[in-house]
Structure 1
Amino acid sequence: MKRFLRDNGLSVGFGAMFLAALVGQAFAGQADFNDRQLSQGGAEVTLLQYLASSDFAVNVAENWQSEYLQFFLYVFATVWLVQRGSPESKPMDQIGTESDEQQEVGRYADEDSPKWAQAGGWRTAVFSRSLGIAMAAIFLLSWFAQSVAGLSVYNAEQIAELQDPVSWPAYLGVAEFWNRTLQNWQSELLAVGSLAVFSVYWRQRGSPDSKPVGTSHDTTEKSG
């Protein structure tokens, strides 16, 4: 067990923190929802009822979609965009998808390479982009979930105010939807851009997201 925890410390650690934060959000969200219900003359809901509500779903989904948008854009952008001096960037002379030899695919793969990296053809082409495809798929699914849950919340408010509910396509054109969405997007893009630039000049000893403390500001990609 100790070896498993050591070898999987990042996934286990962040998984545990994620679950703790999600549970905390559930209780805090229920309390906030019930406060709003009481102020509007409505009835309180139980935790299970809140977890099944569109209010909880939209709050979770809008955060997930912005995070996976960040990962999707970063995975693809760093193929072509570089930042001199940043450990988050490839070397300046490796812009692009690189050669088969550099990527160890097809006839350049070794016996330990993943099977689809060795296969060539469409399988290697798909596997070569599988991380970006996965990030994009999760982003689109969570964005869709956010829009559906947000539509339910929005229409409930419309009915409470004696106004007509709207369809899903119409909701996608509502300012409230894009206000919530773009708030999350801009914060994630700012965070990624800041890390790429700050890591040129600042250090965190022992972190793979930082260059070694004594490395020149102009050194690109190197981490430790």
Structure 2
Amino acid sequence: MWRRNGLSLVLLALMLLFLGGQIAAGLQVYNDELQRHGSTSVDLWHYLVSGHFISATFENWESEFLQMGMYVLLTVSLRQRGSAESRPLDPAQEQERVDEGPAPWPVRRGGIWETLYGHSLAIAFTIMFLLSFALHAIGSWRSECVEKRLEGLPPPGFLDHLFSSTFWFESMQNWQSEFLAVLSLVILTIFLRQKDSPQSKAVQAPHSQTGD
């Protein structure tokens, strides 16, 4: 099991580790803020359903799913000469490797099922992005409502918050950083190598080589 699924297991463990750290630190920060305004602290459960936690978590998830979904779609038709992250420039050089064994059932069924399966990765990232965006918007609005009440001000309506500069600042600051990270990977794999990594070209490969 470890040999077949080690990468997924380690990534899941790291995600849970840092999510736990975010929860512990976020709970402390949130309670400190409440106490500064003369309000009572909340327990772990009430923090997990608070706008503070929901907004912070799904604000980041939203940008990650946007990054990966757009990356999947852009690499379908766009190329970068010399990058390990690009498909070959010449379609004649491109061969899709298929291991021996039965094809997935949507392929065997054909028709609409095969069409949906052929785009299922982009569809999945789109759905996860939209769900994360919605939860970020709701959490961010609830968080701002709490802040306004602590300051003795009327809370904003949901649509007022959704179209506010505050909400879009939260989103855009993460979106731009995600595309910067992808751009860095695309460009740096032209010139730099990491031995034995599937994200890198072979150490001996020339800078002009694209893809594997």
When the two structures are superposed, what TM-score results if normalisation uses the length of structure 1? 0.88
Question: Which residue is 1:208 aligned to?
Answer: 198
Runs (5+) with no aligned partner, structure 2: none
Question: Which residue is 2:68 aligned to?
Answer: 71
Are the counterparts in 1 of residues 72 and 122 from structure 2 also a CA contact under 8 Å?
yes
Do residues 169 (structure 1) and 169 (structure 2) align?
no
User: Residues 164 and 121 (structure 1 numbering): CA distance in 2 closer, same or farther, change over 3 Å?
Assistant: same
Distance apart, 1:43 and its partner CA: 1.6
Cα distance in 2 for residues equivalent to 1:34 and 1:162: 18
Cα distance in 1 for residues equivalent to 2:154 and 2:83: 52
Do residues 155 (structure 1) and 152 (structure 2) align?
no
Distance apart, 1:172 and its partner CA: 1.5
Give the counterpart letter for 2:134 in structure 1. F
Higher relative contact order (CA 8 A, sep 6+): 2
Cα distance in 2 for residues equivalent to 1:161 and 1:39: 11
In the alignment of these two chains, the number of paired residues is: 211
Give the counterpart letter for 1:67 in structure 2. E
> Paired residue for 2:39, among 31, 42, 57?
42
Cα RMSD (Å) of the superposition? 2.1
> Paired residue for 2:90, among 89, 93, 112?
93
Distance apart, 1:168 and its partner CA: 2.3
Do residues 133 (structure 1) and 130 (structure 2) align?
no
Give the counterpart letter for 1:161 in structure 2. E
Do residues 30 (structure 1) and 20 (structure 2) align?
no
Distance apart, 1:47 and its partner CA: 2.1
Question: Which residue is 2:110 aligned to?
Answer: 120
Cα distance in 2 for residues equivalent to 1:140 and 1:64: 10
Are the counterparts in 1 of residues 50 and 142 from structure 2 also a CA contact under 8 Å?
no
Cα distance in 2 for residues equivalent to 1:199 and 1:103: 22
> Paired residue for 1:81, among 73, 78, 83?
78
> Paired residue for 2:58, among 34, 58, 61?
61
Distance apart, 1:160 and its partner CA: 3.2
